[in-house]
Amino acid sequence: MKVVRELLKQKKFQLVLIGLVVLAVVLGVLVVPIEQAGGGRLIRSVDDGLWWAVTTVTGVGYGDVYPMTGGGRVVGAILEIVGVLTFGLLVAMTAVAMRQQKERWYWKRLFERLEHIEERIKRIEKHEEFKIKNGV
C-alpha cells in the first residue's frame, strides 16, 4: 500500500494516469460524431462513446459497443495502442517503485546492522582497555 501512495505522489505517474484518462475521454467523445456521420449504429451518444473508450483502453473490450465505421475503427486502434503502451508504462513504473522500496529496506537494514556491529566493537575495545589498564 505504501508503494501505491508513493506512486500517486510522483508527478510522472500522475501525468501518465491523467493523460490516459484525458485521452479516453477525448477519443470517447470524438468517436460519436465520426460514427454518426458514417452510419454507425452502436455508438450513438457520448455515454456510449465514453463506455466504449473505457472498456477499450482498459483492455476489457466487452464487445457490446464498438465502432462500425472506418474512422471510428482508426480512433479505436489509436486508443488500443496508446492504452496498452500506457498500461505497460504504469506497470513498469510500479515495478520500479516496488524495487526501490525493497532496496531502501535492505539499505536501512544494512545500516542498522552496521551500527550494531560498531557498538559491539566499541564495547569490546572498552573491555580490552579495561583489561590492559588493570593488568587482567
pLDDT tens for 23-60 read: 999 999 999 999 999 998 999 999 999 999 999 998 88
Whole-model pTM: value is: 0.73
CATH architecture of 2-134: Orthogonal Bundle (1.10)
Q: In 10 A of CB 120, how many CB atoms?
A: 10
Q: Are 51 and 63 in contact (CB under 8 A)?
A: no
pLDDT tens for 67-119 read: 999 999 999 999 999 999 999 999 999 999 999 999 999 999 999 999 999 99
CA distance 59 to 119: 56
Q: Are 136 and 130 in contact (CB under 8 A)?
A: yes
Q: Which of 58, 78, 65, 62 is nearest to 32 (CA)?
A: 65
